Amino acid sequence: MAYLKSPISLWLKFALLLVTLLSQCWVCTGDTAQAQLTRDHQLLNSKMPPGIVSQRKLMGNARLVGHTQPVRIIAPDGSRVAIVAGGGTTEANKSRVTVGVQAGLLYRFRVDFVDIETPRTVYPSVEIVDRLYTPKGLENQFPVPVVITENDLAQASGGKMVTKVIYLERSESTVPRRPIETDQPWFDVRGGEDPLHVASSLGRPLAILRIGSRVPTAGELAGPSAFDSSRPVVLPDPVERLPSQTIKLTDQTR
């Protein structure tokens, strides 16, 4: 049996179909915009050239201006850490060094180590992106720990680029643990994720460590700003804290 549909019913169905399509497109556009706001529209990321994130953080945070933040570089036992600056390097005779650094500047170090009986050297960079708010007079007792593991050194010397973001955990999600200087908890981010963005979602990023396999030329090391690095302030090693002391670090971000 053949029949004809009235023009009115066809128009109504077309109108309903158009409204449905518009609604679906609106949802799609909204999801896309939200994804762009949370992913692509990040002003800072760890893939920027070393030092850029630190410079931009300095421009947006007046409390970083002129502040010297203690940082402790901790390499594996048996390795040697030296400071690269001012047309040369300091004498490398220990695996740990404590320095004072400022936001907006890039600092480089030299780490000498042995990988499967082969002497190797890498030149990691450190940039500070935020600070700790410690009790006055106790700043040097609470440096930001930057731990370089044997795995980091092996990957870097093998031609890979290692990027680590050290962040201060939120107090409500911090897991109590016994403090061990060389035991800094870490995890790998998933493919496509930026470690700086992940760290920002978990707490407050403090420093970015980068280790590559590139060795600077003699000319780069002899320059006044050796290998684009600044000279940090050498600080004494942190004194051992008394077990009876309870000192709370405040997270002043405003």
Buried residues in 83-108 as b, exposed as e (16+ CB within 10 A)? bbbeeebbebeebbbbbbbbbbbbbb
Query: For the residues 15-42, what does the mean pLDDT come to?
Result: 36
Amino acid residing at 120 = R
Q: Each residue of 29-65: pLDDT tens digit? A: 333 333 333 443 368 888 898 899 999 999 999 999 9
Element (H, E) at 22: helix 7-35
Q: How high does pLDDT run on average in the chain?
A: 77
DSSP, res 180: -
User: What does the domain layout of the chain look like in residue ranges?
Assistant: 57-172+182-233
Residue 241 has φ and ψ, to the nearest 5°, of -80, 145
pTM, rounded to two decimals? 0.74
Share of residues in the chain with pLDDT > 70 (%):
71
Neighbours of 208 (CB within 10 A): 25
Q: What's the N-to-C CA distance of the chain in angstroms?
A: 76
Contact 97, 129 (CB under 8 A): no
Q: Each residue of 150-186: pLDDT tens digit? A: 999 999 988 999 999 999 988 766 666 666 666 677 6
CA separation for the pair 146, 166 (Å, rounded)? 7
Cα-atom radius of gyration of the chain, to the nearest Å?
26
Contact 228, 106 (CB under 8 A): yes
CA separation for the pair 106, 143 (Å, rounded)? 17
